[in-house]
Structure 1
Amino acid sequence: MLVQLPDEILLCIIHHLKSVTCIDLISVASTCRRLRHLVGDWTLWSDNISITTAHASNEMLDILTDIFTDSSLRRYGIKSLAMIINRNDASVCQFLAALLGQQQHDITCSSLRFEAPWTVHDQLLGLLSQQDAGLKSIREVSVSDPDQVFSTLSDMSRNPVMDWLVHCQSSLEIFNVASLPADWLLYYIPRKDLQFPKLASLTLALRSFFSLPATEESRQCYWQQFKHVFPNLRHLTLHVAPDDATCLIKTLLHTKSLFPWIQSITIVSPSDLKQVFPPAELRAILSNLTGLTRVNVGWDMMLVC
């Protein structure tokens, strides 16, 4: 009988199930108390974790949440977490909060990648800002919604998210959150010395309203401050929904004094950017700006120097 096997052998079997998907562990946990306890073993929820919630009902996620919140279990050592979230539901956020809440304080989670509806992005980043263990020295944060690439976060979640980013500024190397407005990083940080010295890849949203400088001089100051915050940035992706934001990008591409700095720039927009950035103009820009080797302004137009 399977239950007659020692815990060590059962854990080896469960580890093989986990290699397919962590969600399969829920079925094991539902079998009996002993297997439920083993599913919460720290070795199963350490290192690299991959989860797809489409394969789990709310009831299934609640089972894992209860296991994670059991105070008798050892803390986990998650080094990277990748989640594909298919719905905006309280059970998903409770599950994630319970999982991250068990992270060991002395083990750094280096990578968090979420693919989720943009309506969940506020909650996801809010959850990250509440975690004290292992997330202060994170190297990569990516949050995306492939179906809604031009929606932005609510300003109501700005302060806790930005406070958390202040704590991560010395370690972040990749920050790709297309729903996070760029003006948050420039205008709403109380600290004048904010700087991400290691950050090399960045994806943000450019939005209109009050966030866009009105004059060419103020737009140049905008990018000078941007360079101060991200001095070693190499790859920049901007999601531009409002057409009036393209003037800010034009200033970036025509301010020679900013370079050498960024190596590649990608602009994502619902508009036809070929009307705003003609190929001849982009070629002239590439030849004029030191260090800039690639400009991508649409799936069908990419110039490489």
Structure 2
Amino acid sequence: MINSLQSFSDELILMILYHLKQDNHLDLAPIANTCRRFQRLVSDYSLWDMMIMMDTSSLTSEQLVFLPIMPSHKSHSGKEIIMVDPYTTGILALHTILKRHDNNILLDVSLYTNDPSSYWSMLTRQYDDYNSTFKSISITELPPSSSPSSSSSSSVTFSCTSTKSGDDSIHLMSDSHHVDPFMYSFLSKVCPHLEMFTFPMLSLHKLIATSLVFPQLHTLNVALPSATTQDDTNNTLDWSKVKHTFPNLQHLTLHPISDHQLEGFWKNIRLLWTTPTLFPWLHSMTIQSNSSSSLAYPLPSSSLVNTPNDSTNNNNSITKDEIIATLSRLNGLIRIDTGCWDIIAVDHV
């Protein structure tokens, strides 16, 4: 009687692991820690031959050119690219891989860097040079503890980028709804196949302003501006347009552009929470701060909020009761995580 995975042959376990890692190779890590046999199997080349991994933390751009390249680099047929690049040391290498990639293979790209805007500029401004078709794009900033000192890396400027990364950063996170033509061209080409998009520096308003539709996208992680800009102009978000842009969105993560404008940020969130006609739609919502400080300290759960204009509540805070009421009111929404509260509607799961 077979009662353990240890009774299975290596070939059968490799088949199981192959299907397990389809969404994320990191799902294999806990299995590798269970025993020496599974550690050996998780390390099997057949599970990793379609992944391209580069870590430039201690490399210069000149050294990167002479790195030994895995077969998937040579054929440019990898399904997944993961790059840890504190600065922009590997940006030219990534550009070369994307340029020669087989466009019949949907590509997952995950970039961890201290200069996200430079990578975004490279992707959007040079997309006409690529053969790549993206299934997922993730551009996130490295945590401070992962960032080496400036003396351990050399920065490379991508020759085709026409704006400085600092300028791009301000533009991407601004309240303006203006869409850069390069960004529009890039998004118009990737939107039919894109399933996951993570770029906390990019404002949701700008994605909506493109008037594009992302029919396959189910996971979105971006910035959300305040409902009122610094000059007191109205900047409320039309959530019906968000649903039109992302009709099959399931998991939404939002970051405030500024931790100093949280009242307007929560106003935009509550506009969604008080519009049940948009549901069923989202399955989960996560609110994350871009700084180390908490977004808001919760008020006592006795102060229930039913409308975004309830003057009895501190608009910088979300209460436990408000989240519970929202989950019960919105059809299909089963989880809300605000950092202070992470609540799952078990009855809806």
Which residue of the partner structure matches residue 109 of structure 2? Answer: 112
Instruction: State the distance in 1 between where 2:56 and 2:344 align.
Output: 39
* Alpha-carbon contact 2:196-2:217 (below 8 Å) kept: yes
Which residue of the partner structure matches residue 79 of structure 1? Answer: 79
Which residue of the partner structure matches residue 93 of structure 1? Answer: 91
Question: 1:274 is matched with which residue: 279, 291, 298?
Answer: 298
Q: Deviation digits for residues 106-136 of structure 1, max 9, x if unmatched?
A: 432420001111xx2222122223134332x
Shift of 1:211: 11
Check 1:178–1:290 CA distance in 2 against 1; reply closer, same or farther (3 A cut). Answer: same
Aligned partner letter, 1:197:
P
Check 1:74–1:98 CA distance in 2 against 1; reply closer, same or farther (3 A cut). Answer: same
Which residue of the partner structure matches residue 224 of structure 2? Answer: 206
* Alpha-carbon contact 2:283-2:333 (below 8 Å) kept: yes
Q: Secondary structure at the match of 1:284?
A: helix
Check 1:292–1:158 CA distance in 2 against 1; reply closer, same or farther (3 A cut). Answer: same
Which residue of the partner structure matches residue 134 of structure 2? Answer: 138
Shift of 1:272: 1.3
Shift of 1:253: 0.9
Q: Secondary structure at the match of 1:199?
A: coil
* Alpha-carbon contact 2:86-2:142 (below 8 Å) kept: no
- 1:182-261 maps to which residues of 2 (within 5 A)? 182-187=204-209, 189=210, 192=211, 194-208=212-226, 209=229, 214=234, 219=237, 222-240=238-256, 241=258, 242-243=261-262, 244-261=264-281
- 1:117-196 maps to which residues of 2 (within 5 A)? 117=114, 120-129=115-124, 130-131=126-127, 132-135=129-132, 137-147=133-143, 153-155=169-171, 158-187=180-209, 189=210, 192=211, 194-196=212-214
Aligned partner letter, 1:141:
I
Shift of 1:159: 2.9
Q: Secondary structure at the match of 2:336?
A: strand
Aligned partner letter, 1:84:
V
Q: Deviation digits for residues 83-102 of structure 1, max 9, x if unmatched?
A: 11122x4x422222223222
- Whose helix fraction is larger, Structure 1's or Structure 2's? 1
Q: Deviation digits for residues 128-163 of structure 1, max 9, x if unmatched?
A: 23134332x311111111438xx9834279432232
Check 1:74–1:48 CA distance in 2 against 1; reply closer, same or farther (3 A cut). Answer: closer
Check 1:273–1:202 CA distance in 2 against 1; reply closer, same or farther (3 A cut). Answer: farther
* Alpha-carbon contact 2:99-2:131 (below 8 Å) kept: no
Which residue of the partner structure matches residue 289 of structure 1? Answer: 330
* Alpha-carbon contact 1:202-1:235 (below 8 Å) kept: yes
Q: Which of structure 1's runs of 4+ aligned residues deviate more than 6 A?
A: 210-213
Aligned length: 238
Instruction: State the distance in 2 between where 1:212 and 1:75 align.
Output: 53
Q: Secondary structure at the match of 1:265?
A: strand
Identity of matched residues, %: 26
Shift of 1:248: 0.2
Instruction: State the distance in 2 between where 1:144 and 1:100 align.
Output: 19
Instruction: State the distance in 2 between where 1:92 and 1:211 align.
Output: 39
* Alpha-carbon contact 1:46-1:76 (below 8 Å) kept: no
Which residue of the partner structure matches residue 58 of structure 1? Answer: 61
* Alpha-carbon contact 1:64-1:95 (below 8 Å) kept: no
TM-score (structure 1 length as normaliser): 0.69
Check 1:263–1:212 CA distance in 2 against 1; reply closer, same or farther (3 A cut). Answer: farther
5+ residue gaps, structure 2? 1-47, 145-165, 173-178, 300-316
RMSD value, Cα: 3.0
Instruction: State the distance in 1 between where 2:232 and 2:111 align.
Output: 29
Check 1:303–1:176 CA distance in 2 against 1; reply closer, same or farther (3 A cut). Answer: same
Instruction: State the distance in 2 between where 1:212 and 1:111 align.
Output: 40
Check 1:93–1:211 CA distance in 2 against 1; reply closer, same or farther (3 A cut). Answer: farther
Question: 1:302 is matched with which residue: 321, 338, 342?
Answer: 342
Q: Secondary structure at the match of 1:138?
A: strand
